[in-house]
């Protein structure tokens, strides 16, 4: 199989983790991970031990990729709200393309055991919600400037206060 990113470069077997084999490109350092192989590996291995001091160089493929196994169009799925990186999966044969550094990113974000969930509508919707909330908070910070933290503290208190509606009526007078 050829690399979907670096046309002409052959993918070679590479060990991602002990017991987990993928196919990697020597040129871009990306890896093709068969999801069935990942699922078997994940059942047998604990993925809770994460090295918090991982150093990695991230790469991201912006264009759509063709699956090196079946030539189907791969779909991109965002990993998290904290990262712009997206995983590519072939919906025909369930091969997943990991750009250089994305396996380490999955470890760093502590989602190594959640890989199949990343490809779900619910996961992607949660990411969109997180991003929207962060954008709203940034707009609020900009609007309220130096008073934002004090207002935020008041709002947190008010949300828990048993007479919240009375306070809101009082403030609106």
pTM: 0.77
Cα separation, 74 vs 93, in Å, equals: 10
pLDDT at 90: 96
Strands 74-80 vs 83-90: parallel, antiparallel or unpaired: antiparallel
pLDDT in tens, 113-168: 899 999 999 999 999 999 999 999 999 999 999 999 999 999 999 999 999 999 99
Q: Is 3 helix (H, G, I), strand (E, B) or coil?
A: coil
Helices and strands, counts by H and E, the chain = 6, 6
């Amino acid at each position: 199989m050829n690399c979907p990113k670096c046309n002409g470069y052959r993918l070679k077997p590479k060990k991602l983790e002990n017991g987990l084999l993928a196919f990697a490109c020597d040129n871009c350092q990306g890896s093709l991970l068969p999801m069935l192989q990942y699922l078997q590996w994940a059942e047998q291995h604990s993925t809770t031990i994460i090295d918090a001091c991982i150093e990695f160089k991230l790469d991201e493929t912006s264009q759509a990729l063709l699956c090196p196994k079946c030539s189907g169009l791969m779909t991109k799925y965002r990993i998290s709200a904290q990262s712009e990186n997206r995983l590519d999966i072939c919906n025909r044969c369930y091969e997943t393309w990991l750009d250089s550094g994305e396996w380490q990113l999955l470890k760093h974000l502590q989602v190594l055991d959640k890989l199949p969930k990343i490809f779900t509508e619910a996961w992607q919707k949660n990411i969109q919600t997180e991003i929207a909330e962060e954008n709203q908070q940034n707009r609020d910070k900009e609007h309220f400037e130096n008073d934002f933290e004090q207002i935020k503290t008041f709002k947190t208190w008010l949300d828990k206060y048993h007479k919240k509606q009375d306070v809101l009526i009082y403030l609106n007078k």
